[in-house]
Amino acid sequence: MTTVDVPISHLRENPYEIAKSQLRKVADTFAIDPNLINVLQECKKALVVSVPVSMDDGTTQVFQGYRVTHNVARGPSKGGIRYHADVTLDEVKALAMWMTWKCALSGIPFGGAKGGVVCNPKTMSEGELQRMTRRFTSEIINEIGPEKDIPAPDVGTDGRVMAWIFDTYSMNKGHSVLGVVTGKPLTIGGSLGREEATARGALYCVREAVRKRQLSLQGTTVAVQGFGNVGSYLAKFLAEDGATVIAVSDSTSGLYNPNGIDVQAAIAHKRETGSLAGFRGADPISNEDLLVLECDVLAPCALEQVITAENADKVKAKIIVEGANGPVTPAADEILEEKGVLVLPDILANAGGVIVSYFEWVQGLQEYFWKEAEVNAKLNDIITRAFNETWSTMESRDISMRLAAYGLAVQRVSEATVTRGIYP
């Protein structure tokens, strides 16, 4: 039996410390009671589990898993599960806290949670992934549930993984529990529009930002880092809206064509080969070079902390839309603000996923499902309202979009905390 070693993380800074410093900055700007901040900067609970798995070669490997709940003042906790080699407990804590703010900003009745398993899913067979998922679910089964904590897909997980979690939980309860996870396949209680939801929410934010700047998406140049679920759909939607997607990248390769990339063809190539490498009609580009391209809109849709103090001054984009969680560090934020770059923060820009997860949860509880047009229309209403509330706060207080978004969210969670009081 071997324990999987934790590799050196891609994270340059501790994300949980970043999340807490963001909270303290919000407290200073919006004059929030320090006693409340003492409560909000801590996670309600953090579960660390070992996940033994029988591998295809006959060995047993032990993976480390986490499930963290940050806050439940506004409702049950909600948040994805990621499978990635760099997952750390502090990263999961930070992501759980950001989920709390994301739900509050969107006005949906959830608190924040997050989970993860330290593994490389790309090197594991489907059988190994399924056995790991089912064991991990069994280890956290007392902590999750439709009225308690509802997982969803994240980096390295998808509808297939959610189906295994749903089945494992339901088998233990003795009946199907549709509301235990979201992001499920349509055949077992998933929602129409869920797969594209994060990207569609980011699209609605970009549309609003461009409109506020009195510009047009027609001919706007776009670079997208990350070509998974969020990045590929966002590139596709922006291209359909008339934007020119000049660069895209995945974890191993990137494409650049100043005249525009055929996004649909790139998606098909990635589906067939598993990578963007070898795609004709564009030149190779590194992830690092993509971030500093001359473009109107830059969408980092991969992992955290890709825009830092080291490269922020080289960023030439006019608008950054955070498809990923925490892709811009606080030091980089300050540099971008001085340069006049409009940053659409993660808790607003990528909230589409959790909003439609909320819709899926509601549909599952009611066992009554909506048409896709209805899902997208409701998503547009919520994202547009949250965007305009954030924009109005930004203008009235003369602060950044990020500080405005966090300020609104933290105030809402603070109000719920005060209203409920502290038990006993």
Helix (H, G, I), strand (E, B) or coil at 184: coil
Round to whole Å and give the CA distance between 124 and 129. Answer: 6
DSSP 289-311: HHHTSS-SEEEE-SSS--B-TTT
Helix axes 159-173, 126-140, angle to 10 degrees: 50
Contacts of 158 (CB under 8 A, 6+ apart): 183, 229
With 0-12 / 13-18 / 19 or more C-beta atoms within 10 angstroms meaning exposed / middle / buried, residue 384 is middle
Round to whole Å and give the CA distance between 356 and 316. Answer: 32
Core vs surface per residue 284-310: b (16+ CB within 10 A) or e? ebebeebbbbebbbbbbbbbbbbbbee
Contact predicate 256/262, CB 8 Å: no
Identify residue 155 by its one-letter amino acid code. V
Give CA 402 to chain center in angstroms: 15
Partners of 48 in the β-ladder: 66
Report whether the peptide linkage leading into residue 109 is cis, meaning its omega lies within 30 degrees of zero: no
Partners of 67 in the β-ladder: 47, 115
DSSP 369: -
**The one catalytic residue among 93, 114, 184, 318:** 114
> For the range 22-27, what are the long-range contacts, defined as Cβ-Cβ under 8 Å and sequence gap of 24 or more?
22/330, 22/402, 22/406, 23/97, 23/406, 23/410, 25/403, 25/406, 26/403, 26/406, 26/407, 26/410, 27/410
Annotated catalytic, 114? yes
Round to whole Å and give the CA distance between 21 and 42. Answer: 12
Contacts of 312 (CB under 8 A, 6+ apart): 328, 331, 332, 335, 336
Q: Which amino acids are annotated catalytic? A: 114
